[in-house]
């Protein structure tokens, strides 16, 4: 599916960004027919509009399980891995110039990930992916572990080996490996250089941007 990217970062959309994303969150997907401000809605739309490759399994039970796992990743893992860890370790220091709060991160790491990891270990497949073929559920869960690495914490995930092996398989799939390497490169350059970096990596860019200046919390930010 051909696409263009407008590489903007959370909390820095311009005024017009509210029109396409009332929650002022990324990602946002726009085509000639829809403007969607949530990754679940985007994934389901892409799956229905472009039937191959499948993003969700076809059979009802596997499809429901994939939806549930994606929701678990979006809500619970998002709360812990993004909002309470990555946000405190990376976003606030980089965007708000606030000192990194290692005490808060340590407390979160002690209390929050273990039950999440226990649950993932109970659903982690011994080989292959969670619901048969690779599905959006696998990717939605795996991306949180890249954010955890980028948060540079002392998290020890060794008690959950099946989950680690599963996430490793997902991260090695070519599409996700490419995206992860793009994200890693983007973190090494300043925001003003992102469009040049994406262009250099052969990714088509939108002609206009919703990037703004300064910091602005969305209506659901904590
Ligand atoms: N459930 C949403 C979560 C999106 C989300 O939390 N986006 C964050 C960045 S990862 C954001 O844009 N935060 C800015 C804000 O809330 O003000 C989805 O899956 O799309």
Whether pTM exceeds 0.85 = yes
Query: Cβ neighbours of residue 170 under 8 Å, at least 6 residues apart?
Result: 129, 134, 138, 139, 141, 142, 176
By alpha-carbon position, which residue is closest to atom 6 of ligand 1?
25
| Distance from the alpha carbon of residue 217 to the mean position of ligand 1, in angstroms | 11
Beta carbon of 221 within 6 Å of any ligand 1 atom: yes
Per residue of the chain (222 residues), what is the pLDDT tens digit?
899 999 888 899 999 999 999 999 999 999 999 999 999 999 999 999 998 999 999 999 999 999 999 999 999 999 999 999 999 999 899 888 999 999 999 999 999 999 999 999 999 999 999 999 999 999 999 999 999 999 999 999 999 999 999 999 999 999 999 999 999 998 889 888 888 898 888 899 999 999 998 889 999 986
- Rounded CA gap, 151 and 109, in Å? 12
Distance CA(217)–CA(18), nearest Å, equals 11
Backbone angles phi, psi at 9, to 5 degrees: -115, 155
The response to whether residue 21 sits with its C-beta less than 6 Å from ligand 1 reads no
Report whether residue 24 contacts ligand 1, using a CB cutoff of 6 Å. yes
**Ligand 1, atom 16: closest residue by C-alpha:** 221
User: Which stretches of the chain are assigned E, i.e. beta strand?
Assistant: 29-30, 35-36
Q: How far is the CA of 169 from the centre of ligand 1 (A)?
A: 26
List all residues 6 or more positions away from 118 whose beta carbon is below 8 Å from its beta carbon: 160
Residue 37 alpha carbon, nearest atom of ligand 1: 20
How far is 123 from 89, CA to CA, in rounded Å?
28
Q: Best substitution site from 21, 25, 69, 141 to test ligand 1's pocket, by max atoms within 8 Å of Cβ?
A: 25
Question: Between the CA of residue 62 and those of 2, 58, 97, 163, what are the distances in Å?
Answer: 28, 7, 44, 19
In angstroms and rounded to an integer, the radius of gyration of the C-alpha atoms of the chain is 18
Rounded distance from Cα 206 to ligand 1 centre (Å): 21
Bridge partners, residue 44, by sequence:
none
**Ligand 1 centroid to 190 CA: how many Å?**
21
pLDDT at residue 31 in the model: 97
Whole-angstrom CA distances from 84 to 17, 27, 76, 202, 214 are: 25, 19, 11, 33, 22
Residue with structure tokens 């599409």?
175
* Structural tokens at position 119: 């649950």
Supply the pLDDT for residue 215: 87
């Amino acid at each position: 599916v051909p696409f263009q990217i407008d590489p903007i970062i959370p909390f820095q959309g311009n005024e017009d960004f509210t029109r396409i994303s009332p929650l002022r969150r990324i990602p946002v997907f726009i085509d000639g027919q829809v403007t969607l401000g949530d990754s679940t809605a985007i994934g389901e739309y892409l799956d229905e509009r472009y039937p191959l490759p499948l993003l969700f399994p076809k059979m009802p039970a596997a499809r429901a399980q994939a939806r549930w796992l994606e929701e678990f990743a979006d809500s619970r893992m998002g709360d812990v891995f993004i909002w309470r860890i990555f946000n405190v370790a990376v976003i606030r220091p980089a965007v708000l110039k606030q000192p990194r709060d290692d005490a808060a991160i340590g407390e979160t790491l002690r209390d929050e990930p273990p039950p999440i990891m226990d649950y993932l270990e109970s659903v982690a497949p011994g080989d292959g992916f969670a619901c048969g073929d690779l599905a959006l559920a696998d990717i939605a869960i795996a991306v949180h572990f890249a954010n955890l690495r980028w948060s540079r914490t002392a998290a020890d995930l060794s008690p959950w080996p099946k989950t680690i092996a599963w996430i490793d398989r997902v991260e090695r799939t070519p599409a996700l490996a490419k995206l992860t390497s793009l994200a890693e490169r983007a973190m090494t350059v300043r925001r003003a250089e992102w469009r040049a970096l994406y262009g250099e990596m052969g990714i088509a860019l939108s002609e206009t941007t919703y990037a703004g200046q300064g910091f602005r919390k969305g209506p659901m930010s904590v």
